[in-house]
Structure 1
Amino acid sequence: MAPTVTRIDAAGNTQLGEGPHWDPVSKTLYFVDIEGGTIHKYCPATNSSTKASIDGHDGRSVSLIIPVKNQPNKFVISVDRDLGVVTWDGKSTKVSFEKIAEVDTAADVIGNRINDGKCDASGRIWFGTIGVHDPKTMKFSENASFYSLHAGKPKHHFGDVTISNGLVWNKNNTKFYYIDTPTQRVEVFDFDLATGNISNRKTLAELPKLGVIGGPDGMTIDTEDNLWVAVFDGACVLQVSGKDGKLMQKVDIPAKQITSVAWGGDNLDELYVTSARLFDPALTAPVHGAVYKITNTGFKGFPMNEAVL
């Protein structure tokens, strides 16, 4: 049976949907609207959604939301270059932000902001930044960086990043996969869970060589160590082998700008997909900026890791 794609209108519409995170306890999907500066919650059981803005931070970007382990209603989020914690009951329309770390503080990069982020199996938060862009050419500077948060302090792993995006680990926590969107590559590192070190950087797959138009964005992994990659400006999600980078299947999505993916549902066999409607006035709601769900893939994922602070 071919995969089935459904638009979830009850989840609302965003300018730049990102950072989907499925909570298996509450059976809800959390995600953000980067451009709207809001955090979102979608509950499939009631087919309803809510959202909240960050008190005192209107107009600033919010790019990730990760539950804090063993602390109900607490989440790590980003606000521009800051990581912090909010407490949200899923109902309130505003939340207070408690800053815990700041990155890219040098004078020549203070216009950067945090982009995609996730936790490894030990609860460390891994995240990267995005460079400042020229609104005329839509080119981004290459002075962003990639970090993890160790004992409350950012650890710099590498620089020369343009748009830090998808990140995920294999089931044995020995490989770390990473995307810097403009490179059009999915890269793989050796990963040491005990130390939090990454090494031996290699290219796993390149979208042009796979015959795919668009830029790789957010991604997740299934239980067979295959990557599922959102393709911005490509109107699709790719399944790519985490072992050799071969294209296994391509799932078309009605929206053009696909931003990220996360496994959800009772059996973690439903793939939730976020999208955007940027730069082009022809990309209108409800199709563009919507949340989609892919079923009947024949695959399933792992529970997403939570933050340990």
Structure 2
Amino acid sequence: MRSCCFIFIILMHFRCFMSNELHIEEITNETQRCILGEGPHYDVKSQNLYYVDIAAPAIFRYSLETGKIFKATIKDNNSQLGFITPIEGKTDEFVVGAGHDLTVIRWNGESEEATVLKVLVTVDSQFPTNRINDAKCDPKGRLFFGTMGDETSNLKQHPTGFLYRYQTYPNATILRDNVGISNGLAWNENLGKFYYIDSVTRNVKAYDYESSTGHISNESVLIDFAVTHPDNEFAPDGMTIDENGFLYVATWNGARILVINPVTKEIVREIQMPTAKVTSLAFGGPSLDILFVTTAAYPASYTHPPPSGAVFKITGLNVKGLPMSNFKFD
């Protein structure tokens, strides 16, 4: 079965990237741009895009139907926000990463303030400067989330982050330690693979993935950007996957999205973006053929020309993504 999938993915390469009608459009305006936009999650049921501004900190909802963007802060919580994920079966409850806490919040999607309902788990207490960063749910609704240390320290020499899996209150399972900056995550159930980015290592790693348990094993390097782009110091950031198994990697300080064939381990396309700090991306829309992309204008001490911090939508890719999973309590 898996060998057939390999052949299928290789053949699909020729169909996926024939279109020359690529169109990149900003969905934010100059007053809506983020300092550090991250964590896009497209909810297929409501046709809403959710994302965060880590540094503000704030959460956002973009309605595809109306084109409106709504912004909120979390009451009595000024921690940096790594991500926002809807909870399955709820219309106004979300899991967010806030500082050291995995937290459930209530937000109606329009008000300017959300409220904390419950802290599910607190992590990395032994490292006060750590915080939760990127996260996604696997196809079964289990939450995989990671942490990172203080960016002003040498995270390559002293990585203090972790990768966790969470499903059952109140414990989180450590999947990896010695992580610099935990970032992009993606799954391919057909191949039994989990893909993961620690931005500090400048590569994408692949693992064997057990769908029934969420267990990962047999780490290997899928692609090393220090080899493919030795003269470009960008760091891989967020990541998503399309229906054919190709990976889309955002590049911090790279001004591009890299599309990777995980079977041949080759970069098959580079999508140039109008701003340098491309942070993450997610497929959405009724047909899952729109690629939403978050960016950053961070740190504030540097000059970032517009449209840094904007959120974009890319159409004309001639490919569809996979529906993102909402969080499911065990």
Category of TM-score, reference length = shorter chain: over 0.9
CA distance in 2, matches of 1:235, 1:46: 29
**Contact kept in structure 1, 2:155 and 2:200, CA below 8 Å:** no
Partner of 2:175: 157
Partner of 2:97: 78
Query: Is 2:46 the partner of 1:26?
Result: yes
- Of stretches 252-261 and 294-303 in structure 1, the one that deviates more from structure 2 is 294-303
Distance across 2 between alignment mates of 1:54 and 1:190: 37
1:13 paired residue number: 33
Could you report, residue by residue, the CA deviation over 1:20-53 in whole angstroms, capped at 9, with x for unpaired residues?
0111122111000000111000112212111110
How far did residue 239 of structure 1 move? 0.6
Once residues 235 and 67 of structure 2 are traced to their aligned partners in structure 1, the CA distance between those partners, rounded to angstroms, is 31
**Is the 1:231–1:237 Cα contact (8 Å) retained in structure 2?**
yes
Q: How has the CA–CA distance of structure 1 residues 140 and 294 changed in structure 2, closer, same or farther, with 3 Å as cutoff? A: farther
Question: What does 1:169-208 correspond to in 2, within 5 Å?
Answer: 169-172=187-190, 174-208=192-226
1 CA distance for matches of 2:224 and 2:256? Answer: 15
Q: How many residues align?
A: 304
Whether the aligned pair in 1 keeps the contact of 2:162 and 2:176 (CA below 8 Å) is yes
Return the letter of the residue paired with 1:209. Answer: V
| 2:160 aligned with 1:143 | yes
Extract unaligned runs of 5+ from structure 1: none
Q: Which residue of 2 aligns with 1:134?
A: 152
Matched, 1:291 2:308: no
SS at match of 1:96: strand
- Alpha-carbon spacing, 1:169–1:138, altered in 2? closer, same or farther (3 Å): closer
TM score, norm. by length of structure 2: 0.88
Shift in Å at residue 139 of structure 1? Answer: 7.2
SS of 2:200 mapped into structure 1: helix
Q: CA deviation at 1:244?
A: 2.7
CA distance in 1, matches of 2:160, 2:106: 32
Can you list the C-alpha shifts for 1:58-94, whole angstroms capped at 9, x where unaligned? Answer: 2x10111111011111110011010011111111111
Aligned position for 1:300:
320
What does 1:227-238 correspond to in 2, within 5 Å?
A: 227-238=247-258
**Alpha carbon RMSD of aligned pairs, Å?**
1.7
Q: Is residue 103 of structure 2 the alignment partner of residue 89 of structure 1?
A: no
Letter in 2 for 1:296: G
Q: Does 1:113 align with 2:131?
A: yes
Larger strand proportion, structure 1 or 2? 1
Give the conservation status (yes or no) of the 8 Å contact 1:18–1:64. yes
Instruction: Give 2:208's aligned amino acid.
Output: D
Partner of 1:62: 81
Contact 1:131–1:140 (Cα < 8 Å) also in 2: no
Q: 1:165 to 1:277 in 2, by over 3 A?
A: same
Provide the secondary structure at the position in 2 that maps to 1:282.
coil
Q: 1:248 corresponds to which residue?
A: 268
Assess, with a 3 A threshold, how the Cα gap between structure 1 residues 140 and 91 changes in structure 2: closer, same or farther: farther
* DSSP 3-state at the match of 2:128: coil
Which letter maps to 1:283? H
CA distance in 1, matches of 2:265, 2:113: 42
Q: Please give the alpha-carbon distance, in whole angstroms, between the structure 1 residues aligned to 2:292 and 2:303.
A: 24
CA distance in 1, matches of 2:328, 2:46: 19
Could you tell me how far apart the structure 2 residues matched to 1:302 and 1:220 are?
A: 9
Q: Partner of 2:15 in structure 1? A: none
> Separation in 1 of the partners of 2:130 and 2:115?
22
Secondary structure of 2:238's match? strand
Q: CA deviation at 1:208?
A: 2.7
Q: Does the aligned pair in 2 maintain the 1:133–1:139 contact within 8 Å?
A: no
Quote how far apart the aligned CAs of 1:141 are: 4.0
Displacement of 1:9 after TM fit?
2.4
Distance 2:321 2:279 in 1: 18
Which amino acid in 2 is paired with 1:249? R
**Counterpart amino acid of residue 87 in structure 2:** V
Residue 102 (structure 1) aligned to one of 102, 110, 122: 122
Q: Which amino acid aligns with 1:301?
A: G
More helix per residue: 1 or 2? 2
* CA displacement 1:204-240 (0-9 Å, x = unmatched): 0111322373110000000000000000100011110
- Name the SS of the counterpart of 1:209 in structure 2: helix
How far apart in 1 are the matches of 2:46 and 2:214? 29
TM-score by structure 1 length?
0.94
